[in-house]
Amino acid sequence: MTKIGTPLTSVAKKALLCGSGELGKELAIELQRYGVEVIALDRYENAPAMQIAHRSHTLSMLDGKKLREIIELEKPDHIIPEVEAIATPTLVELEKEGYHVTPTASAALLTMNREGIRRLAAETLGLPTSKYKFADNYEEFVEAVRTVGIPCVVKPVMSSSGHGQSTVKCEEDIDKAWHISQDGGRAGAGRVIVEAFVKFDYEITLLTVRHCAGTTILEPVGHHQVDGDYRESWQPQAMSPAALAKAKEIATAITGALGGYGIFGVEMFIKGDEVIFSEVSPRPHDTGMVTMISQDLSEFALHARALLGLPVPSVRFYGPSASKAIVVEGDTDKVEFGNLEKVLEEEGVQIRLFGKPEVKGHRRFGVILATDDTVEKALAKAERAYSKLEIIIHGR
């Protein structure tokens, strides 16, 4: 039986977020709706979730000793990984000592590193995946490209939001791709995966919720990426009945193998009726931000319910919806957004501004959400709203 006390008292139910970006912020809001005391962790100060949490700590979460010190100090009921760059072996140790990691420490360990999850999917579960090879140094990398073939996609084994990812389209791209992968990894330079380029019609995220009453699979989310970083997503993605059935089978298999309660973002490539597994994240997914307008329980609300041990009897889908990322480019700690009254003048449009403290290069600062009669109309509405947004970059 789930019991939740009052925050900041001796009977409080405490959740510790390992990662406090925009996804962590929305999850913190949902947890606080249930009266959960939230502690936010991240590598930089004033991260979005830190701005609303009861307490926060700034650290490199790859520092297992420091991470353990904070967890032993806070004694949370739930440890919730929200980014890849975490000392996951420390989480495994802590789980053995009685702490609860969402969905499980082994799931965090496997999915924070592309090698673990790819080997589980392809070699243990026998799920269809692209051809792949791993490499630890430049010589192995060149050999992996030769083996997998050109074109191919190169990614650090530990990264997110497209960091360190590139496509090798010809021989001249090999050296550049290696350097991109070494500069963009969440844990610094190191091991990479080289994947055969998959010719697909579209790609989806199938948000899958494991909870105390079973498994719930949401309407498929389609998305558009630039260099591996999400720019637009929509729901539902039109699929053939056969492809959808296969996708659900794959999502059920991989999330079942990972175990625990929570939401998983299962990414797949679709070619006709063929479905190829790509990746899985054991937490809310950036492409799933569209659920903040498309259904009565967002992916964040569902994650909160599931990890607290609460059931999900049903999810009401409202209809065709879209999201468009607000990406800011520059080098500043002063960003303003203007013309919002025009952005929101159409019916069925919402905006979320994350409150990130600075940008160096390019960074996602918010998202525009839209609904309409069709996905195409929702996407067009989101694009119109985005075109009216004024982004003001001030100098440091």
Residue 9 structure tokens: 């008292």
Neighbour tally for 255: CB within 10 Å = 24
> Is 352 in the active site?
no
> Is 364 in the active site?
yes
Contact 372, 318 (CB under 8 A): no
Which residue is catalytic, options 267, 288, 294, 366?
A: 267
Closest-CA residue to 343 (of 301, 310, 386): 386
Strand partners, 323: 233, 369
Q: Which string of b and e fits 30-63 if b means at least 16 CB within 10 Å?
A: bbbeeebbbbbbbbeeebbbbbbbbebbeeebbe
> Is 160 in the active site?
yes
Which residue is catalytic, options 5, 64, 162, 228?
A: 162
Which residue is catalytic, options 24, 364, 366, 372?
A: 364
Strand partners, 276: 269
Which residue is catalytic, options 287, 294, 298, 371?
A: 287
Contact 123, 102 (CB under 8 A): no
> Is 162 in the active site?
yes
Which residue is catalytic, options 88, 102, 104, 160?
A: 160
Using DSSP's 3-state secondary structure scheme, residue 363 falls into strand
Contact 164, 185 (CB under 8 A): yes
> Is 111 in the active site?
no
> Is 19 in the active site?
no
Contact 40, 24 (CB under 8 A): yes
Q: Give the residue numbers annotated as catalytic, written as ranges.
A: 160, 162, 267, 279, 286-287, 364
